[in-house]
Structure 1
Amino acid sequence: MLRLSALYRFPVKSLGGESLQRAEVDALGLAGDRRWMVVDAASGRFLTQRQLGQMAQIAARWRDDETLELSVSGRVPLAVAVPPADEALRGVTVWGDSLQVPDAGEAAAQWLSAFLGRDCRLVHVPPSRARQVDTGYAQVGDQVGFADGFPLLLIGQASLDDLAARVGRPLEMLRFRPNLVIEGADPYAEDGWGRLRIGAIEFERVKPCSRCAIPTLDPHSGERSNDGEPLKTLATYRRDADGVYFGQNLIQRGQGVLEVGMPVTLLD
């Protein structure tokens, strides 16, 4: 039987994630997932572990619906309030999308800049300022926050287990930063799924996830693997003309609640 075996949320794009037993699904994906982002202060361009591996060391947690907490070893944690949706707007860029979103203020900017060693800002995306998902794969009105392109990422546990066996050592699921982990299927079975239902919510699989260098970083320290794994091995059997793929992007077709342990039903 297919079941939801893990839920992960990443409140700030490219900072540390949190494992959940229960999560709400809203119009942008998992509630609170990737609703914040660190950007270069001068250009507004998004920053990730691709440039700054030490971002992985910063834990980001929701204290409540209106307060984010940032923490890292050796520093006093910082509470950041969700800013008003239409005040202190800053122009930012995420891949090819440019948008105006509220800045989280000086305290957050100084805290992050001091740790990361460069001048940066923290911004928040309210639902009213979310991005349209690429209509080559989605419907008009499908939205996403600061995730790379789609609201949700799914990975099969058996797929990670197969990759780890090929690499020859255990691999943390957090290297791949999924939202949903499914167990009970064969390795890479998710490649062929269409629509699925978990609890009362339907999801549509829309596109394989092309992987960048982030899976080669330790998900806790941000240190890069010396041997290029696991991407080196993935590239031997999961590459096509457009990249190396692992995991599947989803779009939710409804809202509700997910809980670890829920059965997963394939609809087509």
Structure 2
Amino acid sequence: MRLSALYRYPLKSSLGEPLQRAELDALGLVGDRRWMAVDAESGRFLTQRLLPQMTQLCARWQGSERLLLSAPGLESLSVAVPDETASLRRVIIWRDTLQVPDAGDAAAAWLSDLLGRPCRLVYVPEARARQVNTHYAEPGEKVAFPDGYPLMVIGQASLDDLSRRVGRPLEMLRFRPNLVVEGSEPYAEDSWKRIRIGGQTFRVAKGCSRCIITSMDPRTGERSADREPLTTLKTYRERDGEVYFGQNLIHGGSGVLEVGMDVEVLE
């Protein structure tokens, strides 16, 4: 088995970015989901579930200190990583509430124009990151702005099998993984407990429950009229009212990943 693809998402629910090489830090892939759009009044996080136009939002790092925002019809905007203590904003992501730096009025105006509602752009430094669910993680293991876990893996064979069942090819980016593994059997990742990629080890925390975002074309934001692939997934991947596809991972520390690295199941 080998690592066949790497993806990061600099701004939560924006366009994915394919990488050939990525570093790991305490929160996952360096630069992954460190930024997030939130409702200006409530501070609640915003995603494609509510705002399909976020599929057109491209956020790309410029070095390690700035983020470039771009979208069709708007002039690009470069945003500096905000100071860790200035202009803290209360934000809500699922059950977590935290105080994080706000990226300023220019970024807020740009995002509000794109999304058609008052919103703010926020950033999470490592010191203000969230604790991963301690049912699956150790105290002190943190996550930035993913839904719950630092990393997520999908086997390419699992997507191929799902595409066959649906009857048309499906894009991997519908499922927004960080890591894609080639050479395993379909859904082999369901049984993994620990894996090694290159010199890095990862614990498999739990299956990844899926939502309506998987039924949206990642290029256009259009929802499938037949609600695929959720409709098909529900026929064989539903458990306790949730539909699962892919596995959430917790990594063992800093390091480097590169496409092509060997993947070994340790447990």
- What's 2:182 paired with? 183
1:217 aligns with 2:219: no
The one-letter amino acid of 2:104's match is: G
- What's 1:232 paired with? 231
2-structure distance, mates of 1:155, 1:175: 12
| SS of residue matched to 1:77 | strand
2-structure distance, mates of 1:174, 1:9: 10
1:50 aligns with 2:44: no
Cα shift readout 1:18-45 (whole Å, capped 9, x = no counterpart) = 0000000110000000000000000000
- What's 2:9 paired with? 10
Counterparts of 1:1-268 in structure 2 under 5 Å?
Answer: 2-268=1-267
1-structure distance, mates of 2:170, 2:63: 31
The one-letter amino acid of 1:237's match is: Y
- Deviation for aligned residue 1:224: 0.7
The one-letter amino acid of 1:213's match is: I
The one-letter amino acid of 1:192's match is: S
| SS of residue matched to 2:164 | helix
Q: Identity over aligned residues, as a percent? A: 66
1-structure distance, mates of 2:10, 2:258: 18
* Structure 2 residues not aligned, in runs of 5+: none
Q: Alpha carbon RMSD of aligned pairs, Å? A: 0.6
Cα shift readout 1:4-59 (whole Å, capped 9, x = no counterpart) = 00000000000111000000011000000000000000000000000000001011
- Deviation for aligned residue 1:74: 2.1
TM-score under structure 2 normalisation?
Answer: 0.99
TM-score under structure 1 normalisation?
Answer: 0.99
The one-letter amino acid of 1:68's match is: L
- Deviation for aligned residue 1:223: 1.1
1-structure distance, mates of 2:239, 2:255: 35
Cα shift readout 1:61-110 (whole Å, capped 9, x = no counterpart) = 11111111111122211111100111100000000000000000011100
| SS of residue matched to 1:110 | helix
